[in-house]
Amino acid sequence: MERLDNIPVSLELKDVLERLHVHKVSRHVEGTVHELIDIVRPIAKPKAIYKVCYVDKENGDSLSIDGVRFTSHVLRVNLDKVERAFAYVATCGRELDEIVIPSDDFLKCYYLDAIKEMVLGSARRCLKSYLARRYALGQISHMSPGSLADWPITQQRELFSIFGNVEDLIGVKLTESFLMVPLKSVSGIYFPTRIEFVSCQLCPREMCSGRRAPYDRDLAQKYSEKI
C-alpha cells in the first residue's frame, strides 16, 4: 500500500471560471472566485492511497480482490483476464472542508464546490499517471462502487476494508450510508485494459451532470451477454 500526498495543485482563475461555465464574468464574480482561490491554494493537500491487489475469479458474478469478495457482473467481466488490479481512494482533503462559507451564500458555496472538484481532479490524475508509469500499465480504466446499479455503493465497505483505517491514512471517512467524507472523494478499482472503459457507457440515465461518455447500447448488450 502506498500513500501519495505531495500532489501539485494548479488553480488558475481562467480555468476555474471555465469550470463554472461563466460566460459573462462580472467584477463581483471574478473577485469572489479569486478570493476563494487565494484561500484554497495555500491549504489544499489532496491525497490518495492505493494497493496492488491480486484478482481471483469465482463463480457467476463474484470475484475476490486482495481476498475481499465483490459481486458485480461488469467488474467481473472487466477483470476476467486481469491478474493484478489497484484499489484506490483519493480525496481533495479535509483541509478544504474546514473552509467556512455562510450557508445562505449559495453562489460562493457553488464556486468553492467546483474548486474542490478541481483539487480532487488533481489527485485522480496524479494517481492514474503514477500507476501507469510505475507499473508500466499502458491504458488503464477504473470502476467505482455506486457508479452502476450492477456494483452497488454498499460495497464501499468491502473496498475500504482492503486498506484498513482509511480515515487515519488520508482522512476519508465512510458514513453509515456508504458516502465518503470529505464529499469530494472517490474510490474504486483501476485495472489495465486494451480499450478504455467508462461506466457511463453502460448507464442509460439521460440527465446526469457527471456523465463522461455517451450511453452505448451495443456495448451494454455485449456486457449482458458475457457470462
Mark whether 214 and 124 lie in a shared domain. no
Structure-block grid coordinates of residue 220: 451494454
What is the reported pLDDT for 12? 93
The CA-CA-CA angle for residues 16, 130, 139, to 5°, reads: 95
Structure-block grid coordinates of residue 117: 472538484
User: Nearest CA to 110 among 198, 203, 209?
Assistant: 209
Mark whether 58 and 164 lie in a shared domain. yes
Q: How far apart are CA 33 and CA 16, in angstroms?
A: 8
Domain enclosing residue 9, as ranges: 2-196
* pLDDT surpassing 90 at residue 45: yes
Q: Is 61 exposed, middle or buried (0-12, 13-18, 19+ CB in 10 A)?
A: middle
Q: Answer yes or no: are the C-beta atoms of 76 and 119 closer than 8 Å.
A: no
Mark whether 59 and 151 lie in a shared domain. yes
Mark whether 30 and 105 lie in a shared domain. yes
Mark whether 175 and 220 lie in a shared domain. no
Mark whether 225 and 140 lie in a shared domain. no
* pLDDT surpassing 80 at residue 22: no
pLDDT of 154-197, one tens digit each? 999 999 999 999 999 999 999 999 999 999 999 999 999 988 88
What is the reported pLDDT for 209? 64
Mark whether 220 and 153 lie in a shared domain. no
CATH of residue 116's domain is 3.40.109.40
Q: Answer yes or no: are the C-beta atoms of 191 and 82 closer than 8 Å.
A: yes
Q: Which residue has the cell 460495497?
A: 155
Q: Answer yes or no: are the C-beta atoms of 212 and 198 closer than 8 Å.
A: yes
The contacts found for 75-83 with CB under 8 angstroms, 24 or more apart, are 75/143, 75/150, 75/151, 75/189, 77/223, 77/226, 78/141, 78/143, 78/191, 78/193, 78/197, 79/55, 79/189, 79/191, 80/226, 82/55, 82/191, 82/192, 83/54, 83/55
C-alpha 207 chain-centroid distance: 20
Mark whether 216 and 182 lie in a shared domain. no
Is the four-CA dihedral 129, 133, 138, 144 of positive or negative sign?
negative
Give the model's confidence band at 226: pLDDT under 50 very low, under 70 low, under 90 confident, else very high. Answer: low
Mark whether 162 and 178 lie in a shared domain. yes
| Domain total in the chain | 2
Average pLDDT, the chain: 90
What's the pTM value of the predicted model, to 2 decimals?
A: 0.90
Q: Could you tell me which residues come within 8 angstroms of residue 60 by beta carbon, excluding any fewer than 6 positions away?
A: 76
